[in-house]
Chains A and B, each alone.
Chain A
Amino acid sequence: MHCEMILDEYREKLPVFKKLKEVVMDSVRNCLNENNILVSGLDSRIKSEKSLTGKLELKGYKYRTLSDITDILGVRIITFFSDEVDIISALAEQLFEIDWENSVDKRKMLEIDRFGYMSLHYICRVPQSLFYDPAMPELNQTRFELQMRSTLQHVWANMYHDMGYKSDVEIPVEYQRNMSRLAGMLELADEQFSHIRKEINTYRRKVQSLVASGNFDEVPLNGDTFRSFVALHPFKRLTDKIAAINQAEIYEDSLMPYYNVLRNLNMKTIGDIVRMRNEYSEYAFQLALIQLAGTGLDILANSVALQNLCIVYILKQGFGEAGLLRLFNALYGENDYNKDRAKRIYGQAKQINII
């Protein structure tokens, strides 16, 4: 009988839960955007009447009224890394009122020799400072559950749930050991991913300061160092000089496609690129001059400078027309145009004594 009353209350309060879901999801999305946090997943659900009926049949004795059930609205945030769960929870604490008595950190509930469900569950309310509608004041009194877990924690929980279990005590004892081993492996992987990411971030900061210091011969050429180097606009002077031929506007485009080209040209350090720039800028300009003068073309991509430097470098290394063809094939994929272009540029290079 009292379960029927709870179900009646549920039906009556459904519009409140729908509005609450909207408010919570909007607030969480805005908060993540404002803090530049990318998450692997964000979803929500309102418990269906069928599911609530099932819950009441099993554990109805625990609840006096609907407000005793705190997961009618459930929101889940899935982070990429396990250490981001703490960042998200700190933001949730700023955003919502947390019912600490009923919130659980399942990550800390496991014994030291146990592995299993790891997730942080907060029971929350929306404070009036975040949202208040005088026509629906009960919204601020209604609790909801916010689950926060990493992608791998989510994988484990999903697999477990998919096998028909809700907690590890339910699983037959003969399978518990294997499930624990699997949970332990995922926990370790989670920890390693976070660790590797921290190390990569430290490496990137180190590389940025090394590049900024100008000791280019000490900086190995890789994707990170090239990106940091390009951010210093190392070809700007040459680009501006080329643009001045026709008073052209410069369109900024990514120079990252040239990373593999430079690797294929056997450049090992950022210092090698700097040497190429210092030695061949004049030739690269002369090549642009012969191509652009008199055309009236007054828009250029910023890649022209590096493109011409690579062309001059290839020719100076004696790779000839075949080397140019390899360059264009690497940049644009193999196509019929590249051969004509290699031949044309080879001719222009001869005209201005690059070769």
Chain B
Amino acid sequence: MDIKITQQENKTIVVLNGRIDTSNADQFQQDMTPLMEGENPDIEIDCTDMSYTSSQGLRIFLMLQKSVMARGGKMVMRNMNPQVKEVFDITGFSNIITIL
């Protein structure tokens, strides 16, 4: 899993590349932790090159979403491939997270 984080105007752009699974979920969580603090909570996650997420990934996205909302911000995920989108659909996470 390769993660690129950049700041664009007032939001954080996260570009994910690869799989989120048991082998790298802890690292992914550590990488996302700084985004759960700070004054500019808006986050956009580009999933173009994200090939899979396990339940651990879903939990981290959920934590991120909660922290963003608690600070009055908005989190959106974009450009999911059909396999990743299916994970969000069948777990009901499409109802919780905004996917564009």
Contacts and interface: CB of A to CB of B under 8 A. Distances in A.
A172 interface: no
Q: Interface of chain B, helix or strand or loop or mixed?
A: helix
B91 interface: yes
Interface stretch (A51-59, A74-82, A297-305): A297-305
A335 B78 CA distance: 11
A303 B93 CA distance: 9
Contacts of A207: none
A297 B55 contact: yes
A253 B100 CA distance: 20
12 contacts: A295-B90, A296-B55, A297-B55, A298-B55, A300-B91, A301-B91, A301-B96, A304-B92, A307-B92, A332-B95, A337-B85, A340-B85
B70 to A, nearest CB: 16
A279 B81 CA distance: 34
Contacts of A341: 85-86, 89
A331 B95 contact: yes
A300 B92 CA distance: 6
B91 A299 contact: yes
A214 interface: no
Nearest to B93: A301
A16 interface: no
Nearest to A307: B92
Interface in B47-100: 54-55, 58-59, 62, 80, 82, 85-87, 89-96, 99-100
A291 B94 contact: no
Interface residues of B, number: 20
Given A253-B95, A295-B90, A344-B82, 14 more contacts: A251-B96, A253-B96, A288-B90, A297-B54, A300-B91, A301-B91, A303-B92, A303-B95, A304-B90, A304-B91, A332-B95, A335-B99, A337-B99, A340-B82
A341 B58 CA distance: 19
B87 A332 contact: no
A299 B54 CA distance: 10
Interface string A322-338: 00000000011001010
Contacts of A332: 94-95, 99
A223 interface: no
B88 to A, nearest CB: 9
Contacts of B59: 299
Contacts of A295: 87, 90
A292 interface: yes
A181 B85 CA distance: 60
Interface string A281-297: 00000001001100111
B33 to A, nearest CB: 19
Nearest to B100: A335
A257 interface: yes
A292 B58 CA distance: 15
B69 to A, nearest CB: 12
